Amino acid sequence: MTVKIAPSILSGDFSNMGAVIEKLEQTDVEIIHIDVMGGQFVAPITFGYQMVKTLRPRSKKIFDVHLMVQTPEVQIPQFIEAGADMISFHVETSKHPHCYLQQIKSAGVKAGIVLNPGTSAQVIKTLLEEVDYVLQMSVNPGFGGQSFIPRVLENIEQLAKWREKEHLSFAIEVDGGVNEITAAACRKSGVDILVAGSGILEKDDWQVAINQLRD
Ligand code: DX5
Ligand code: ZN
């Protein structure tokens, strides 16, 4: 399976997100990654559901919402309503992750669970039958432009092994510090979706950067 590339608009121009989305619309990616930070689980505050709702009519791409919030149970219904196609939340902030996954899926949205770099894959083993995807953070969440933490490849390899052994079909997404070099290591470990912010949006030609990560 060829790896999918998901550009993160966190590295886009915050004063002109409509133009960022329209420029991404011109590329061949299927997925746009949207980093929702709430100021508590991570310090920055980025986008709310209102922004996603107003961007929705401007794009046919899959909207992949990554919730970095303290109260996913509050934001999940908002982003379902705003038109997200994929919603993931951190296991580290969730009181009832199994329930939230079911809630997302029952709305016809793909459901993902997120692991911080310091969290063992073992923590989500009992959720793997419920998830459409696992998002493995390869930096500590909060900021773009950080360096990839190689140790997370162990989690990815473990997840890929369980997926095979238990005949499951969840996708593995990796997020943070993805460049041409780290992308190759991720692909080898079993990753299906590569998120990249600075590695695409800070480059002159986004399509060229996308091609380089994919190939
Ligand atoms: C970080 C975000 C990432 C971020 C990645 O908390 O979850 O999606 O945009 O940025 P890069 O690709 O620059 O590391
Ligand atoms: Zn993200």
Whose tokens are 């369980």? That residue is 162
Closest ligand to 86 CA?
Answer: 2
User: With a threshold of 0.95, does the pTM exceed it?
Assistant: yes
CA distance 37 to 65: 10
Write out pLDDT tens, residues 6-18: 999 999 999 999 9
pLDDT level of residue 80 (50, 70, 90 thresholds): very high
Is the confidence at residue 1, as pLDDT, over 90?
no
CA distance 72 to 194: 23
**Could you identify the atom of ligand 1 that is nearest to the CA of residue 198?**
13
Tell me: domain 4-214, CATH 3.10.20.340, correct? no
Taking the CB of residue 163, how many other CB atoms lie within 10 A of it? 17
Catalytic one among 35, 64, 132, 192? 35
**Nearest to 192, CA basis, from 173, 211, 179, 207:** 173
pLDDT level of residue 59 (50, 70, 90 thresholds): very high
Structure tokens at 162: 């369980």
CA distance 51 to 90: 21
pLDDT given for residue 211 in this prediction: 98
Would you list the domain boundaries of the chain? 4-214
Q: How far is the CA of 155 from the centre of ligand 1 (A)?
A: 18
pLDDT level of residue 134 (50, 70, 90 thresholds): very high
Write out pLDDT tens, residues 139-194: 999 999 999 999 999 999 999 999 999 999 999 999 999 999 999 999 999 999 99
Structure tokens at 98: 């199994």
Q: Which of 88, 175, 181, 200 to mutate to test the pocket of ligand 1 (most atoms within 8 A of CB)?
A: 175
Q: How far is the CA of 34 from the centre of ligand 1 (A)?
A: 10
